[in-house]
Structure 1
Amino acid sequence: MSISAAQVKQLRDMTGAGMMDCKAALAETGGDMDAAVDWLRKKGISKADKKAGRTAAEGLIGVAAEGTAAVVVEVNSETDFVARNDAFQDIVRKVSEVALTTDGSVEALGAAPYPGGEKSVSDTIKDAIGTIGENMALRRSAKLSVSAGAVATYVHNAVADNLGKIGVLVGIETSGDAEAARAFARQVAMHVAATNPLALNESEVDAAAVEREKAIYSDQARASGKPENIIEKMVEGRMRKFYEEVVLLKQAFVINPDLTVEKALKEAEKDIGAPATLTGFVRFALGEGVEREESDFAAEVAAAAKK
């Protein structure tokens, strides 16, 4: 029988075992999840299962670049203390470098060989759970490339080279001076770190978000008793303002607020020596979207006192 990626992910989440081990366990047990868990335990592979059940929302964002491509990865840990650990930092740095050899997906990265050994990235991280003593997880990765030009990287709140709390990639396509293009794209990456735009241009803004904003503005205008033709113009004006706030090219450039990012790009073309286009960006902020466990410190102390 064929084993789905969803089944493998579920077993990984349950046991903390590596992707290949989970696939083998499911194949051996005909896809029976409980039997697969037992199979892993019998093999001694799910030794990190208790730690793997704990929330990992700290850690580090890592970036790496080579030629006209760059990557950003997020590797989580349970505490910020571990994020300052040299061994953990070395793992994130090497995982970033491996990501450059893949298509950038977390699945491909997890299955890729880890430098200096025979194990995959996922299995190496799983093994590190036992040695470092905290749950860790390769949460996500992304790759950005251009055919000509550069992809700039920027790390905010850096704790070491190319490692920090926010990582940004910005692609710029041009036949001009690649280093001048990279320098401008790095400024844009700093801007993205600060402003967290929703999209590169208007057409890429999520349609549901656009409709939600229009509905809110329409309701607000109707509440003021304005006629429909006036409401329509009011909504158009509010949407222009909305795009200026959330669309990268429309935003006021933090390096020079007198210009939009789009106009700053036109200015930068003088140094680049050719037309240039911003092709995309990726922004990872550590732990965003992760539900963190809330602990009751008083209850923990009381429970410890009873032991």
Structure 2
Amino acid sequence: MAEITAAAVKELREKSGAGMMDCKKALTETNGDMEAAVDWLRTKGLATAAKKSSRTAAEGLVGVSVSVEGTKGAAVEVNSETDFVAKNDQFQDFVRTVTQLALTAGDDVAALAGAGYPGGGTVAEKLTSNIATIGENQTLRRAKVVEVSKGTVVPYVHNAAVPGLGKIGVLVALEGDAPVAEMETVGKQIAMHIAAAFPQALTEDGLDPVVIERERAIAAEKAAESGKPAEIVEKMVQGAVAKFRKENALLSQVFVIDNKTPIAQVVANAAKAAGGSITLKDYVRFQLGEGIEKETSDFAAEVAAAVKG
């Protein structure tokens, strides 16, 4: 049986919003497995889901950039060990430059790392030099490029540290023949929605099948506890999965600005008002450190262990 620490209970409480004792019980039931504990709480109706704005501990910066033509955009994430480095001018200049390079080099991280860096050497070599001079480990984690043949790519950084750099970067790719100014207006609104609403895919069909099956399993266990007939339980499961798909696909999400209009309709309304075509072709949402678990340690326990050793 894994030891259930206060830190683990606190982390689960922050992720799920459930009560402290419920979190402790969930961790006990799942032998300390954090993700399984979240699912356990959800099957008991004690948590709706892991919070979308999950506490991510990795530091660094996300950069976004758009080509001069406005039809191609790139987003890049570079991690550092501390937030202090993210405020360093040298680090910021590196992230800004690499984001610009991604517009040409593309979003394959290996190819981007091998791209030539202004002033000589490669991106990877410049990163190694930065690590040596700044004195802290840094990592080029990921990049994503979106492009339209006609239209515009709209960039947005939520709470930007400096222009184009921050902890949440968004790109919205709008294709069509509507006036660019009109597309930029609706694109900025949609980008702000994406930053807040955390969609997992552009369309419902684009959602990860593994995630869908996980939701189905949770819904099935929860519905089974209702004691209702099998056919009713199946309808409850189908309804729960349909709701999840709708709430996590960008085009079917409800616009956060008015809390009633689906994003697909927002785009259609903008196209009609602009007198031209507008299609939401793609998007990018990079949140600094998402999916990275930062190692935590109990200093007192480390000292005690060292003394015993």
Q: Is the shorter-chain TM-score for this pair beyond 0.5, marking a shared fold?
A: yes
Which residue does the alignment assign to 2:184? 182
Return the letter of the residue paired with 2:281.
T
> Matches of 1:133 and 1:231 in 2, distance apart?
58
Cα gap change, 1:292/1:260 in structure 2, threshold over 3 Å: closer, same or farther?
Answer: same
Q: List alignment gaps of at least 5 residues for structure 2.
A: 1-56
Contact 1:178–1:272 (8 Å) recurs in 2: no
* Deviations, residues 143-165 of structure 1 (Å, cap 9, x unaligned): 01111111111111211000000
Which residue does the alignment assign to 2:275? 273
Which residue does the alignment assign to 1:245? 247
Contact 2:160–2:166 (8 Å) recurs in 1: yes
Q: Displacement, 1:250?
A: 1.3
1:96 and 2:130 aligned? no
Which residue does the alignment assign to 2:59? 58
Q: Displacement, 1:76?
A: 1.1
Secondary structure of 1:200's aligned partner:
coil
Pick from 73, 78, 82 the counterpart of residue 75 of structure 1. 78
Contact 1:150–1:179 (8 Å) recurs in 2: no
* Deviations, residues 267-290 of structure 1 (Å, cap 9, x unaligned): 111343223211121111111222
Return the letter of the residue paired with 1:146.
V
> May I ask how many residue pairs the two structures share in their alignment?
248
Contact 1:168–1:281 (8 Å) recurs in 2: yes
Identity of aligned residues (%): 51
Return the letter of the residue paired with 2:59.
E
Q: Displacement, 1:302?
A: 9.1
Pick from 190, 194, 197 the counterpart of residue 196 of structure 2. 194
Q: List alignment gaps of at least 5 residues for structure 1.
A: 1-55
* Deviations, residues 222-246 of structure 1 (Å, cap 9, x unaligned): 3222223222322232223212321
| 1:28-43 equivalences in 2 (<5 Å) | none
Return the letter of the residue paired with 2:116.
P
4+ long deviations beyond 6 Å: 299-303
* Deviations, residues 127-183 of structure 1 (Å, cap 9, x unaligned): 011111111111111101111111111111211000000111111111211221122
- RMSD across aligned C-alpha pairs, in angstroms? 2.1
1:130 and 2:132 aligned? yes
Contact 1:172–1:185 (8 Å) recurs in 2: yes
Cα gap change, 1:291/1:239 in structure 2, threshold over 3 Å: closer, same or farther?
Answer: closer
Secondary structure of 1:252's aligned partner:
coil
Secondary structure of 2:105's aligned partner:
coil
Contact 1:149–1:182 (8 Å) recurs in 2: no
